[in-house]
Structures are given as C-alpha cells and as structure tokens.
C-alpha cells in the first residue's frame, strides 16, 4: 500500500497510488508521490509516466481524519505543503505525465490531473472540488485547466461534480474508455510518447510549461492562503469536524 513505481520496457514508468479505502493521502503520502514523480522524470530510461490508482477511485484529496486527529496545525500545514509539492511534481516531471482516472477524482485529485499532460478516464470517472463544503479552498487553479471559466466557478461555489464524458467534450480528457480498458489505454498513449526522441520530448514538455499563461504554482499558493484564513477564523475546523462526524456514522 502507498505509492509504488514500476519502470516497464519501452520507457514507461507506472506510478500507482494505493491508499485504501479512498486514496485520500496523508501528509507523508503527498510527499512520497511528489518524490516518485520527480524521480521518474530524472530517470533517463523513462520517456513518459502513467499515474493511476488502485481501488474505487483515483483520489479523494487529503486525509481529513489525520488532520483532525493531529494536535495543532502541523497536519494542516503539512497537507497544504504536501499537496503543493505533489501538484508541482506532476507539472515539473521532466517527461509527460498521463493520468489514468477511475471513479472519483476529488479535491487534491483535481490538482494532480489538472497539472497532468494528458488525461484518460474510465466511463465511471467523475471530477469535483468539494472544498467549500470542507471549509477550505484550492485547486481552482487546476480545475480551470479542465473546464471553462464559468463552469469552474459554478463547480467551486456549488461543489458540483462533472463526468469524464463532460470533460471529454471540453477537450481536457483525451479519451473515455470502459474501466477494464483504462490501464491499457493509458499505456497506449504513454508508449506512443516514449517511443519518440527522448531529448525532443523532454524539451517539448519544458517549452510547453514555459509558455503557459498561468503560473500554476504561484496561483495555487495564492489560493492556499485563503485556506489558512478560513482555518484562523474557525470555519475550517468546523467543517472538517462535521465531515469526520458524518463519516463516523
């Protein structure tokens, strides 16, 4: 369980998140994921990365129970810094990252896929930011890379989810496939990339990051400041406590 990396013949590194029951990552989990992504990109034998998850869904965000069971603000600060590191690692991984999304992709999951180079999704996949209902903010930076501006705002304010098929219509999900075919489709895309000149592909990623109109790291860090404000005024704790109570019933 946790984060594992396997480098396959053909130059594809497969990074798998397996953190039952819902792949909500602890502080350590976010940092481990960041380390795995950056290490895969530094490996000169790797031409592309497939990022996927085991279990019912791709990612359910931060481990709120860890946050509420930890005295003081250590876990809150750690989760924010860990998410920042993991999202940045997807973006800064030296080779393209193909996210293979199954089931739910929520909260921190949006930060991961929003910074990925390519997304393929299972037919059962859905995407959302429940942050407002958790007394937090963040990853609208990454959601804005997936959906148009007004839909992004509606999703933030209402915590509405969208399906993989909706994102496919917007062009942010490359392909939607049956769940049983998801891993194979992700590998098909990644192997296509890895078969190309590795030096050219690495420069292509570097150049595409360089022409991005939004600095995703700075933009996300700005959002995180409001999460800290919400915590200072008590809204964060109140909503997280309510979530933990509801989960316990």
CA distance linking residue 43 with residue 139, whole number of Å: 28
Cα–Cα distances (Å) from 223 to 120, 157, 226, in that order, read 27, 14, 6
Longest dimension (CA), the chain: 54
In tens, the pLDDT along 67-92 reads 888 888 888 899 999 999 999 999 99
Q: What angle do CA 229, 92, 113 make, to 5 degrees?
A: 65
Tokens 């791709």 -> residue? 58
Judged by DSSP in three states, 99 sits in strand
Which residues of the chain have a pLDDT value below 70?
1, 248-249
User: Which candidate, 212, 188, 126, 216, places its Cα nearest to that of 162?
Assistant: 126
pLDDT at site 125: 98
| pTM, two decimal places | 0.95
How would you label 185-223 residue by residue, b for 16+ Cβ within 10 Å and e otherwise? Answer: bbbebbbebbeeebeebbebbeeeeeeeeeebeeebeeb
pLDDT at site 71: 82
Residue 39, Cβ neighbours under 10 Å: how many? 15
């Amino acid at each position: 369980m946790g984060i594992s990396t396997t480098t396959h013949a053909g130059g594809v590194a497969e990074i798998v998140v397996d953190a039952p029951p819902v792949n909500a990552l602890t502080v350590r989990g976010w940092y481990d994921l960041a380390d795995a992504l950056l290490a895969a990109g530094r490996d000169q034998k790797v031409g592309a990365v497939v990022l996927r998850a085991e279990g019912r869904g791709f990612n359910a965000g931060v481990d709120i129970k860890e946050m509420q069971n930890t005295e003081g603000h250590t876990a809150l600060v750690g989760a924010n810094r860990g998410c920042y590191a993991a999202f940045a690692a997807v973006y800064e991984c030296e080779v393209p990252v193909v996210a293979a999304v199954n089931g739910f992709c929520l909260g921190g999951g949006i930060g991961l896929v929003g910074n990925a180079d390519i997304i393929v999704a299972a037919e059962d996949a859905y995407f959302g930011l429940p942050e407002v209902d958790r007394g937090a903010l963040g990853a609208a930076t990454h959601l804005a890379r997936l959906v148009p501006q007004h839909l992004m705002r509606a999703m933030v304010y209402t915590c509405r989810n969208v399906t993989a098929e909706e994102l496919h219509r917007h062009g942010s999900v490359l392909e939607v496939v049956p769940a049983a075919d998801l891993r194979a489709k992700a590998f098909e895309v990644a192997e296509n990339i890895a078969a190309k000149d590795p030096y050219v592909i690495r420069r292509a990623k570097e150049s595409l990051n360089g022409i991005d109109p939004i600095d995703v790291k700075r933009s996300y860090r700005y959002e995180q400041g409001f999460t800290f404000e919400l915590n200072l005024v008590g809204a964060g704790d109140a909503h997280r406590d309510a979530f933990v109570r509801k989960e316990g019933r």
